[in-house]
Amino acid sequence: MSEVYDLLIIGGGPAGLSSAIYGSRSKLKTLVLESKSKMGGQVADYHEMENYPGVVDTTAPELVESFEEHARKFGTEFAKGEVKELELDGFIKTVKTKKGEEYKAKSIVLATGAEPRKLGCEGEAEFKGKGVSYCATCDADFFHDLHVVVVGNGNSAIEEAIYLTKFAAKVTIIVIHEEGKMDAEKLFQERAYANDKIEFVWNSTLQEVKGEGIVETAVLKNVKTGEKTEMDCDGIFIFIGRVPSTDFLEDTDVELTEGGYIKADEDMKTTVPGVYAAGDVRDKVVRQVVTAAGDGATAAVMAQSYLEAEEHWRDNVLKTDKQVVVAFWNPTQDDSLNTLQDIEELGVEADETKKLVKIDTYRNRLITNRYNITKVPTVLIIESGEEVERVENPTEEELARILN
C-alpha cells in the first residue's frame, strides 16, 4: 500500500496553504496537491495586495510565497497534479490525477477555488492584473478619480459598480440588453440609476482591450448593428459570473449547489465524513484572501478533530477483541452522570473482558451521528465491531442485565 497522508489538500491557494500550515503544525502528515506550476490560486495572477490584515506593505506574489514558506517550515509536502477522480468510501480515501498518480489520505480538504468567468475577448488575458480585474473589493482603491468600465448586468456586476463609485470618478456599465433592461434585481437597478457617477452603454459587449502595458482603451461592439467604438478608460472590471473548480466531484457523494459550488457547513464539513471544503470553491458570500485563509484554518482543525475521533474509535472499539461498552453522555445532564456512576459501580473498567468508552455527544458529533444517537444517556454494547444491544436512558436494572 502506498504512503497514507493524514491530510491531503487539493489546491494551493490561500485556503489550501492556510490549511497546510494548521495541519502540519498539528503534526499531521500533510500534502498539498496543486495543478498549476506555482502556488497561490487566483491571487498569484495579481500584483497589489493592500487588504490582508496586519500586512501593510506587500504584493500578492510575496504574500503567497510567505504562505508557502510557512507551510514548508512545518513540514508540508507539495506535489503537482490535476485531480481526475476521488474515491471517498471508507476511512482511507484515494485521489487520482490525470497523469495516473495516486495519493491516499485519511482526510481531504477541497480548496480548488472558483475562477471568474472570462469573456475571452482579445487583450483580456494580456491585461489581467494590469487594469483588467474581476474583483472590485480587491482593486477599487487603485482607481481613485479615474474612469473604469464594468462589464455585466447581474446583481454582482451592479453591486460592484456601485462600490466602485466610492473610488472612481466615473463608472461606465456595459450592458448587452436593450436600454432599461438588466438581469439585476430592481433594487440594485434603482440604486445604479440614481448614482450620478454611473453611466450605461446598452446593446453592447466588450470586444477588445487595448493599451501600452496597462489598460487604456475598451473596444465595444453593438450587438444589434455590429458597430465598434473605442472608449478611453483606466480599468475594466468583468463580472459575468464565476465557475467553481468542481468537475472532478461529479461522481462522488460530495453535495454541490446548482451552480457547482460545494455545500459545506460553518465547520467546513461536506456531506462526506473526513472531507472538507475551504475558500472560493465553497458556497459562500464573501470571497477574499482573508476569508479563504480562515476557511483553510478551520478545515484543518476540523480534520484533526475528525482523525482523533475516528482513530480512537477504530483502535478502541472496532479493532478490539473485548466487548465494548459505549456510554454516550452529556456532562451537563444529571442522568448522564448517574449512568456513568452506575456503570463504574458495576465494575466494568475492572473487567478484563470488557472495555468502557465514553463519548461526549457535544464534543464528538461524528460518532454520535454515525450511530444515530438521539437521546442521552444511551449505552451501546459492541462486539467484533458490531452493535449487539442498545439501551436509551437505562435504569440500574437494565445496566446490570446488559453488563453482566
Strands annotated E in 188-265 = 198-201, 204-210, 217-222, 228-232, 235-238, 242-244
Single out the catalytic residue among 45, 57, 121, 139: 139
Q: How far apart are the first and last CA of the chain?
A: 42
Is residue 233 flagged as an active site residue?
no
Q: What are the distances in angstroms from CA 376 to CA 355, 364, 393?
A: 20, 13, 6
Is residue 121 flagged as an active site residue?
no
**Residue 245 is placed in which grid cell?**
473548480
Give helix 155-164 / helix 186-193 axis angle, nearest 10°: 30
Single out the catalytic residue among 45, 135, 183, 283: 135
Single out the catalytic residue among 6, 121, 138, 342: 138
- Pick from 373, 311, 370: nearest CA to 336: 373
DSSP β-bridge partners for residue 151: 174, 238
**Residue 1 is placed in which grid cell?**
500500500
| Strand order through the sheet with 217-222 | 204-210, 217-222, 228-232
By the 8 A CB rule, do 8 and 110 touch? Answer: no
Q: What are the distances in angstroms from CA 54 to CA 11, 49, 61, 346?
A: 24, 12, 16, 57
Active site residues: 135, 138-139
